[in-house]
Amino acid sequence: MAWLAFTLYLTGILTAFVLRTWLHKRRTGDSGHRHSHPPTGSAAWWAQALLGIGTLGGFIAPLLDATGVLDPLPALHHPPVQVIGTVVALIGFFGVYAAQQAMGNSWRIGVDAEERTTLVTTGVFGLVRNPVFTAIITAMAGITAMTPTWAQLLALAAVIAGIELQVRVVEEPYLRATHGTAYTDYTRRTGRFLPGFGRTTSTT
C-alpha cells in the first residue's frame, strides 16, 4: 500500500501542478507562478517553509514505509482504513485539479501584490473560498490513511499549518486589499475551507 500511496501522490502532484502549469502557460503565455521572498521568520516565510516541508514529506514518508525504514503506527494501520484512504486521496487530487480549472485565467501559485486578477466566486468557489487547499488537505489525509507513519502524520500537519498561514496571512489580506467590498461580502457568505465555516461577520 505504501508504494501505491507514493505513486498516487506523485501522479497527483504532477497532474495538479506540473500539468496544470503547462496547460495554463500554453493558454495564457504565463505560468501562473508568483514567487515571493518574505523576511526570514515572518508568518509568510513560515507558510512557505511548512508547505514545502509538508509537500516534500508527502514524497519521502511513503518511501520510508515502502522500504521498511519506518513501520506504520499499529493503532492507525488497518486495511479497510487504507482502502478508504485511497478513495479519499483520489477524490482529493481530482478536487485539486478541478478547482484549479474552475479558476480559469485567475489561477496562481503565490501572490503578486501588484497584480489584480478576477475574483472567482461561482461554482465550487461558491461553496468554499479555498477549494484548492481544501482538496489538498483531503488528498494528504487520504495518503496518511494509506501509510500512517509518524513521518506522514508530520507531513500532513505541516501542510495544514502552512495552508492556514498562507490563507490567513498572505492571501486573504491581498484579496481584501485588491477587491475591497466585493471580497468582504464574499467572505461573509462563503466558508473558508468548509461550507458555512470560517465566514466573517460585519465586525471581522
CATH number at residue 148: 1.20.120
Per the structure, the count of domains in the chain is 1
- pLDDT over 70 for what percent of the chain? 99
| pLDDT in the model for residue 37 | 85
Task: Name the band, by pLDDT with cuts 50, 70 and 90, for residue 134.
Answer: very high
Task: Name the band, by pLDDT with cuts 50, 70 and 90, for residue 36.
Answer: confident
Within a domain: residue 58?
A: yes
Task: Name the band, by pLDDT with cuts 50, 70 and 90, for residue 25.
Answer: confident
Task: Name the band, by pLDDT with cuts 50, 70 and 90, for residue 117.
Answer: confident
Q: Can you give the three-state secondary structure of 114-175, one letter per residue?
A: CCCCCCCCCHHHHCECCHHHHHHHHHHHHHHHHCCCHHHHHHHHHHHHHHHHHHHHHHHHHH
pLDDT above 60: residue 26:
yes
| pLDDT in the model for residue 45 | 94
Within a domain: residue 202?
A: no
**184 exposure class (CB count in 10 Å sphere: 0-12, 13-18, 19+):** middle
Within a domain: residue 195?
A: no
Cβ–Cβ < 8 Å for 44, 38: yes
The span from the CA of 169 to the CA of 27, in Å, is: 30
Within a domain: residue 93?
A: yes
pLDDT above 90: residue 51:
yes
The span from the CA of 171 to the CA of 173, in Å, is: 6
pLDDT above 90: residue 33:
no
Which pTM value belongs to this model? 0.92
Within a domain: residue 46?
A: yes
| pLDDT in the model for residue 20 | 87
Q: Inter-axis angle of helices 79-103 and 131-146, to 10 degrees?
A: 160
The span from the CA of 101 to the CA of 116, in Å, is: 19
Residue-number span of the structural domain to which 123 is assigned? 2-20+41-107+117-189
Within a domain: residue 166?
A: yes
| pLDDT in the model for residue 31 | 84
Identity of the residue numbered 164: E
pLDDT above 90: residue 111:
no
Within a domain: residue 26?
A: no
Within a domain: residue 198?
A: no
Identity of the residue numbered 93: F
pLDDT above 60: residue 204:
no
- pLDDT over 90 for what percent of the chain? 77
